[in-house]
Amino acid sequence: MPKNNFPPSAKRLQALWVELEKQGIDGFIVPHADEFQSEYVPPSAQRLAWLTGFTGSAGLAIVHRNGSTIFVDGRYTIAVREQIDQNIFQINHISECTPEKWLSKQPAAKLGYDSWLHTPKELAKLKAACKKAGSELISCENNPIDAIWTEQPQIPLSPVIPHPLCYSGETSQTKREKIAKKLIEDKIDATIITTPDSIAWLLNIRGNDIPYAPLPLSFAILYSNATIDLFIHPKKIGQGLIEHLGKTVTIQPKNSLANKLKELGQAKKTVLLDEKQTANWIFEQIIGAKIIKGNDVCLLAKASKNPTEITGMRTAHHRDGIALTRFLYWLNKNAPNKSIDEIQAAEQLEKYRKENNNKEYQYLSFETISAAGSNAAIVHYQVNPKTNKKLEKNSIYLVDSGGQYLDGTTDVTRTIVIGKATTEQKTRFTQVLKGHIALANCRFPKGTTGTQLDILARHTLWQSGLDYQHGTGHGVGSYLSVHEGPQSISQRANNVELKTGMIISNEPGYYKEGAFGIRIENLVLVTEAQNIKGGETPMMSFETLTLAPIDLNLVEISILNQTEIAWLNDYHQKVFREIGQELEEAEREWLVGCTRMI
């Protein structure tokens, strides 16, 4: 969203107040989430963006008699100021003031929420905070935003289609039988699966309901006999789906979910629910059942890719690396002389991704972050015609992008200097690179979590009094969401052990507001480490999957130690070996220089 061109928040808020008065409440809580508690929200459920203008992938607004506010995390500190009207919404940084803290200090009020858009865990925290303030939190049967949102888009009804075994590597039946065995062991009769990517993985299906990820928005109930009820709109049944799903999967209309849940309750079944990602609404329907709280049964199995998926990821990265390298060559050739802007650059990169592939490439895995100069300091910057900057000589350019391929999902960031970098820029780039290498190169015992490793990426920056305000690594799906859990490499406490087959990003950065931004991102695969002489404890390590040169013109070699230099040389040799032969001659010659030994 452009500066000084905010969406009509004032008018919309006015309409919302009329509706809230009608419903007899003094405020309303507007989370980013949809009913799937997903980061990826279809236009029909982008209520937070519609009301406030804020388009980030996480956030929460509270409309309150005492003033309205929006809460965002460190990734969006800058972006939110560009997108929302601060006369209407006060900005709160979640690390300084949580919604709970804010709510507990407001005058008593009757606040509404939509039971579909919150997990019971979130609600419990919000309710406790309201209680402190003497406020009440009331479930609104009809979401008041939906009531006033006249142009609200239709719910997506894209076809759901099979995802073939050559990409998934394991039949749905086998996956379900493994999980069902575990359910029986734990004396659980059924589990409700509420996240579209878990359903996609479990049934080997893909959809097209939201941009950038092939998610089939739907719900499912998996029973301990490995059969499943899949709740989707009949219009969404795509080609070959019925045959693919087979007899053990029953397709149900979405509106029969409530009844099925009630049946489980009435039959006093033992039902596993993930309270971190299941809408409170579902808990409300299932009264009478014995609820076991636990993790989504697909989560860990989906996170650890099987050999077919790993091969697919490697192939997708090979393809993607060629596209990105060709783009970097094009940039190197054209940026210094011709006038290229952020939008043109993003389009050119997308063109290479498309060109390069006939069959597997589907679309981008997220909107490309194409950020020149000071725009790159906005961590989740998204270019639009008003912010669109030229790639100027002697400035640095950051491009964070990825592709969805049938055999895998990519996500890569490169930071490039057009012309000559300043000493400060080279120092910072090299400090970020040292963090990237420390993580890429590390060996760690079984049982280690991403939280424990995070500091490897930050340590050099910390020693210089610097830091970055985002996580270091997120899980990545296999032709699924580009952000997937449960593992992460982050300062936030995460007790999920990094297991063989997990894929995770390695993306430290540094951002100087108003000046420049740096991020170096590769995806890595968790593997068992090769034995080492004298080693006693079995270790894990990372295999870097991403293949594209790291700009040596931004590297201050004197700051690197021998281990770091060796890693960078090895990496560049691998990049050249794996993609050099697939480039045109001029591109290849250029790549020789880019991957030279230092």
Radius of gyration of the chain (CA): 25
- If the CB atoms of residues 164 and 462 are measured against a second copy, the closer one turns out to be 462
Task: Note whether 305 and 480 are within 8 A (CB).
Answer: no
Inter-CA distances, 11 with 6, 41, 51, 148, 368, Å = 11, 23, 9, 11, 31
Which string of x and - marks every residue 182-221 that binds a second copy (by CB under 8 A)?
A: ----xx----------------------------------
Contact string 520-549 vs a second copy (x = CB under 8 A):
---------x-xx-xxxx-x----------
**Contact between residue 118 and residue 33 where contact means Cβ atoms under 8 Å apart:** yes
CA distances from 251 to 29, 223, 241, 255, 532 (A): 33, 14, 10, 12, 52
Rule CB under 8 A: is residue 107 a binding residue for a second copy? Answer: no
Residue 239 or 563 with smaller CB distance to a second copy: 563
Reading phi first (left if > 0) and then psi (alpha if -120 to 50, else beta), residue 317 is in alpha
Of 85, 136, 467, 578, the one binding a second copy by CB under 8 A: 467
- CA-nearest of 532, 282, 261, 517 to 400 is 517
Interface stretch with a second copy, choices 203-211, 322-330, 407-415, 457-465 (CB under 8 A): 457-465
Q: Which stretch binds a second copy (CB under 8 A): 144-152, 254-262, 327-335, 458-466?
A: 458-466
CA gap 203, 245 in Å, rounded: 7
309 to 348, contacts with a second copy by CB under 8 A? none
Cα–Cα distance measured from residue 482 to residue 505, given in angstroms and rounded to the nearest whole number: 10
Q: Reduce the DSSP state of residue 57 to 3 states and report it.
A: coil
Which one of 312-320, 374-382, 461-469, 501-509 is the stretch in contact with a second copy (CB under 8 A)?
461-469
Task: State the nearest-atom distance from the C-beta of 154 to a second copy, in Å.
Answer: 43
Whichever of 270 and 569 has its CB closer to a second copy, that residue is: 270
Q: Which residue, 343 or 466, is less far from a second copy as judged by CB?
A: 466
Among 310, 456, 523, 568, binds a second copy (CB under 8 A): 456
Site string for a second copy, 548-587 (x = CB under 8 A): -------------x--------------------------
Nearer to a second copy by Cβ, of 138 and 292: the residue is 292
Nearer to a second copy, 235 or 532 (CB): 532
Supply the minimum distance, in Å, between the C-beta of residue 445 and a second copy.
Answer: 5
Question: How far apart are alpha carbons 198 and 340 in whole angstroms?
Answer: 41
For residue 466, the minimal CB distance to a second copy (Å) is: 6
| Residue ranges of E strands in 73-154 | 89-93, 110-113, 136-139
Contact between 5 and a second copy by CB under 8 A: the answer reads no
Strands 60-64 and 68-72: antiparallel
Span near a second copy by CB under 8 A; candidates 117-125, 304-312, 490-498, 587-595? 490-498
Location of structure tokens 């998204």: 382
Both tokens of 95, joined, read 């690390």
Strand locations in 237-301, DSSP E?
249-252, 270-273, 290-293
Find the binder of a second copy among 339, 394, 464, 500 (CB under 8 A): 464
Which residues in the 157-186 window bind a second copy by CB under 8 A? 186
Strands 270-273 and 190-193 turn out to be: parallel
**Closer by beta carbon to a second copy, 24 or else 465:** 465
How many amino acids of this chain bind a second copy (CB under 8 A)? 36
Q: Locate all alpha helices (DSSP H) within 24-84, ordered by sequence.
A: 47-52, 77-83
Find out whether 473 and 444 touch, Cβ atoms under 8 Å: no
Sole binder of a second copy in the list 337, 495, 558, 581 (CB under 8 A): 495
Residue 416-455 contact track with a second copy, rule CB under 8 A, x = bound: --------------------------xxxx-xxx-xxxxx
Task: Count CA atoms closer than 13 A to 273's CA, side-chain side.
Answer: 25
Name the DSSP class of 526: E
Among 493, 558, 581, 585, the residue binding a second copy under the rule CB under 8 A is 493
Is residue 491 near a second copy by the rule CB under 8 A? yes
The residues binding a second copy (CB under 8 A) are 95, 132, 186-187, 442-445, 447-449, 451-456, 459, 462-467, 491, 493, 495, 529, 531-532, 534-537, 539, 561
